[in-house]
Amino acid sequence: MLGLMETFRQMVNECVAIGLENDASTLKKLSSLSYPLLARYYVISYYKLCAISHAAGILANRKKTLKRGLKPRNPYAKQVLLISCYGFKIVEGVLKVPLGNGEYFDIPLNSYVRKVLSDSSLQVRSFTLTADSLSICMSREVTEIECRSTEGVDRNLRNVTVGNANNVVQYDLSQAVDVAENTRSIIKSFKRNDVRIRRKLYRKYGTRKKRRVNQLLHRLTKAIVKHAKQSKAAIAFEDIRHIRRLYQKGNYQGRNYRSRLNGWSFAEVKRQVEYKAKWEGIPIIQLSVGETRGTSQLCPRCGKKITQVDRFRQPYCAQCNKWMDRDIVAAMNLSVKGRSRFERSKGLAGEAMKGNPMMPAILRVDASKLAFRRREPTS
């Protein structure tokens, strides 16, 4: 099995090299270029297809990095692995990986995985095997929940605020910041002259920090999705993808401040909420930058601009004569913006779609996107 995994890694690296040489990142183009050259590898043919697919994903990620203006190194697969979505099967709690000539390599699954796979609505799609781990990809058909409201998610360094005008919940994330700062101080204390030892220690404590922070984020996102499911609410996110430009070197900010802000896991929170919400059938609303500009500077009650005073993160609305929390204000405004987007996305011409048995069949139309409406002539 280790020899098969090493062969798979070599096939992936060869496909990546072919893609870099021919500037090919799509699966179709990379397959036409790479598949004939992989004939020298004596493995099952669908492992070659999976290697090409994995290499196409690596090249697509590199292309996205180039579009962001960065200059990444040439990618390659470092650890031995095996990925497949064909030929394998699970029999009585054992994953059977095909080796060829009718032979299989058996991997017994633990009790938790067997319990999850006992659900008849799940379908096993693929597996990823490394030297010390096994990941199984599953899917199921989910019916989208009919939502009655929306909840805005305001992501901050030390907290995540979720809610709307009726209910707001603030989740504390200060422990994740403390973990990152403690790890940074530990790494700074190393005085080893050997670069190899320093890298090994950095990798050890970096992995430890990542696992601890991810555990905190998983608890947080699980609670957010659970609350949204109970209240039957769609989840609205603002677009803060380019916020790290504010904390680049040369912006007259301290090194510790920039390190703290650049360790902010705002994208990981969104990723976890998205896939967990899709698993439960909860809609996700991605708002644009223009829609969410100034959400923390407008009063959610009267709509007037609120003034920032000396109190930390507590603006004051002169119209309502009330102090407010900046994060709560942003979450409430995001829910309002998400509600308007959610109502527009439903459309206004559902009764006039082709396939409705109660109405005459006409062409599919979306009345909410019409820009011209004919007026009847007046006498």
Query: What residue ranges in the chain does DSSP mark as E strands?
Result: 81-84, 89-91, 94-100, 103-108, 123-130, 134-139, 149-155, 159-163, 168-172, 233-237, 284-286, 316-317, 322-323
What does the alpha-carbon distance between residue 214 and residue 211 come to, in Å, rounded to a whole number? 5
What does the alpha-carbon distance between residue 138 and residue 96 come to, in Å, rounded to a whole number? 16
pLDDT at 310: 54
DSSP per-residue string spanning 36-64:
GGGGGS-S-HHHHHHHHHHHHHHHHHHHH
pLDDT at 242: 83
pLDDT at 356: 47
What does the alpha-carbon distance between residue 142 and residue 300 come to, in Å, rounded to a whole number? 34
pLDDT at 352: 45
CA 330 to chain centre: 22
String of b and e for 77-88 (b: at least 16 CB within 10 Å)?
beebbbbbeebb
- For residue 154, give the nearest of 143, 169, 140, 141 by alpha carbon: 169
Mean pLDDT value of segment 131-153 = 90
Q: How many other CB atoms are found less than 10 A from the CB of residue 332?
A: 24
String of b and e for 58-72 (b: at least 16 CB within 10 Å)?
bbeebeeeeeeeeee
pLDDT at 353: 45
pLDDT at 342: 76
Of 232-246, 289-303, 337-351, the poorest mean pLDDT is in 337-351
String of b and e for 220-246 (b: at least 16 CB within 10 Å)?
bbeebbebbeeeebbbbbbebeeeeee
DSSP tag of 307: B
What does the alpha-carbon distance between residue 238 and residue 152 come to, in Å, rounded to a whole number? 8
Q: At what angle do helices 27-34 and 45-67 cross, to 10 degrees?
A: 130
Tokens of 168: 């707001």
pLDDT digits (tens, 9 = 90+) for 282-334: 999 998 888 888 787 777 777 777 766 555 667 777 777 777 788 888 888 88
Residue 5 has pLDDT above 80, yes or no: yes
pLDDT digits (tens, 9 = 90+) for 203-214: 999 999 999 999
Name all domains of the chain by residue range, CATH numbers in brackets.
1-141 (no CATH), 149-345 (3.30.420)
Three-state DSSP class for 316? strand
pLDDT digits (tens, 9 = 90+) for 159-201: 999 988 888 999 999 999 999 999 999 888 888 788 888 888 8
User: CB within 8 A of 357, min separation 6: which ones?
Assistant: none
Mean pLDDT value of segment 126-136 = 93
What does the alpha-carbon distance between residue 379 and residue 366 come to, in Å, rounded to a whole number? 31
User: CB within 8 A of 300, min separation 6: which ones?
Assistant: 165, 329, 332, 333, 336
Mean pLDDT, the chain, whole residue set: 84
Q: Which amino acid is at 263?
A: G
- pLDDT confidence bin for 89, thresholds 50/70/90: very high
Residue whose structure tokens are 């659970």 = 226
Q: Are 192 and 245 spatial neighbours (Cβ–Cβ below 8 Å)?
A: no
Mean pLDDT value of segment 23-33 = 91
Q: Which amino acid is at 264?
A: W
The more confidently predicted of residues 249 and 130 is 130
pLDDT at 249: 80
Three-state DSSP class for 99? strand
- pLDDT confidence bin for 375, thresholds 50/70/90: very low
pLDDT digits (tens, 9 = 90+) for 244-294: 888 888 778 888 888 888 888 899 999 999 999 999 999 999 988 888 887
For 123, phi then psi, to 5°, come to -125, 125
Up-side HSE of residue 266: CA atoms within 13 Å toward CB?
A: 20
pLDDT at 364: 39
What does the alpha-carbon distance between residue 2 and residue 132 come to, in Å, rounded to a whole number? 11
pLDDT at 329: 86
User: CB within 8 A of 244, min separation 6: which ones?
Assistant: 261, 262
- pLDDT confidence bin for 15, thresholds 50/70/90: very high
